[in-house]
Amino acid sequence: MSTMETTLMEAPQAIGNTGVSRILLEELALKILFLNGEMSLADLADQMCLNLSIVDDLFQFFRREQLCEVKGMLHGVHVITASSAGRDRALRSFQFNQYVGPAPVSLEDYTVKVRSQTVQRSTVQRADLNRAFEKLVLGDELLTQLGTAVVSGTSIFLYGPPGTGKTTLACNIPAIFNDFVVIPHAIEVAHQIIGIYDPSVHERVEGPTQEDWDHRWVVCRRPRVVAGGELSAEMLELQFNPTSRLFTAPLQLKANNGVLVLDDFGRQRMRSDELLNRWMTPLDRRIDFLALPGGKKFEAPFDVLVVFSTNLDPRSLADDAFLRRIPNKINVKYATQEQFKEIFERECEARNLGCGPQLPQYAVELIAGEMKQPLSQGYARDVINQIFWSANYLGLPPKLTLDTIKQACHNYFLPVSDVGS
């Protein structure tokens, strides 16, 4: 049986098996009818991502209560529209919230599913890391550290000087996973609907699916959510739109069963100690507490591999109590000479720039020797950028020579005597 098949769930056949209230489904159906006018029961079922038998149950209720009108039949299925009374009820429902998407799942069902597909039990092997980082030049020690950290499914501190590729490493970690998870379009909590599935974050997996599976859930690769300097305290709480009266999930809820990358940690809009205090319990107990309007709090799963990436000293950002909750601390160092030469060669190959065998060594000697700079992994790309820009200005094809490398380095690096002056 394939990974996708084991991920899918059987669709509920009756309203009582959906996990959410009948009233919520009635109001959702009437709102969809209000916006769409005439609809067949099959189309209504598709929009609600529910089995036709459930929608037929709702239809029978609407007909008894005179909330809908039958307009005809299409392929053996009733075509209906909301009656005047149905439209009135829909308008009252819109005042509560304007959600008109797929039917939500319950918080309880969501929690059970998150636990069953936890990131802590995903199988990770060396071949998975080689595949995820095949475009990067990494040493065996660093690969082993990364693999060990990902297997833990807990949290990682990637730290080290600027330009060593920490952000690239962090953002490639989700590619290590080769299994799928299911993510609900929305969940229901205390009669409120919270959107979870986000196409900008969740990579949907297309492929053959069974007709009888629960379409309220979307098959996806494990999520990757990235936040940098724009991170604020509000982004870690439920986002409420007062106009639509809808809730959007915070970053960590969207990242459940996957990876949340906090890039440039220590430079966010919110203070580091504020974020760390907010997540002390979630990192330790794997649960989070979120608040609804009026202060009502509910418990949500926190199944997230959190990757903190920083060029600051972790001890300047967090105390010992918090650092203990981040069990994996990986120092990402500058490239060795051999690594830098390979990076340089790969960059040239990727950009169709001819590279003689002595030129990468010359670049190393120039940068580390004359320029007295560390071999930052990013310098290979930056120096070659200079060569392309100069050629473009002169109206010439880019060419890699001793002279163009030297000119590029002189353009890019500050003279040693100028540093700090």
Among 361, 373, 377, residue whose Cα is nearest residue 409: 373
The pLDDT score that the predictor gives to residue 49 is: 96
Maximum pairwise Cα distance, the chain: 87
Alpha-carbon gap, residue 400 to 384, rounded angstroms: 8
Whether 233 and 31 have beta carbons less than 8 Å apart is answered as no
- The residue among 192 and 2 whose pLDDT is bigger is 192
- The residue among 317 and 106 whose pLDDT is bigger is 106
Say which CATH class 21-101 falls into: mainly alpha
What tens digit of pLDDT does each residue of 340-397 get? 999 999 999 999 999 988 999 999 999 999 999 999 999 999 999 999 999 999 999 9
* Residue 214 clears pLDDT 60, i.e. is over it: yes
* Residue 232 clears pLDDT 80, i.e. is over it: yes
The pLDDT score that the predictor gives to residue 414 is: 87
What tens digit of pLDDT does each residue of 61-93 get? 999 999 999 999 888 899 999 999 999 999 999
- The residue among 412 and 245 whose pLDDT is bigger is 412
What tens digit of pLDDT does each residue of 256-280 get? 999 999 998 888 778 888 888 888 8
Classify each residue of 147-167 as buried b or exposed e, where b means 16 or more C-beta atoms within 10 Å of its C-beta.
bebbbebbbbbbbbeebbbbb
Q: For residue 162, which amino acid is it? A: P
Mean pLDDT (the chain, rounded): 91
Alpha-carbon gap, residue 20 to 25, rounded angstroms: 8
What tens digit of pLDDT does each residue of 4-14 get? 555 678 899 99
- Mean pLDDT score, 91-109: 94
Whether 265 and 310 have beta carbons less than 8 Å apart is answered as yes
110-331 classified as CATH 3.30.505.10: no
The pLDDT score that the predictor gives to residue 169 is: 94
The pLDDT score that the predictor gives to residue 421 is: 45
* Residue 127 clears pLDDT 50, i.e. is over it: yes
* Residue 418 clears pLDDT 60, i.e. is over it: no
Which residue ranges make up each domain of the chain?
21-101, 110-331, 337-418
Instruction: Record the tokens describing residue 302, joined without a space.
Output: 């926190």
- Mean pLDDT score, 229-243: 86
What tens digit of pLDDT does each residue of 146-161 get? 999 999 988 999 999 9
**3-state SS assignment for residue 245:** coil
- Mean pLDDT score, 87-108: 94
- pTM listed for this prediction: 0.88
- The residue among 161 and 245 whose pLDDT is bigger is 161
Say which CATH class 337-418 falls into: mainly alpha
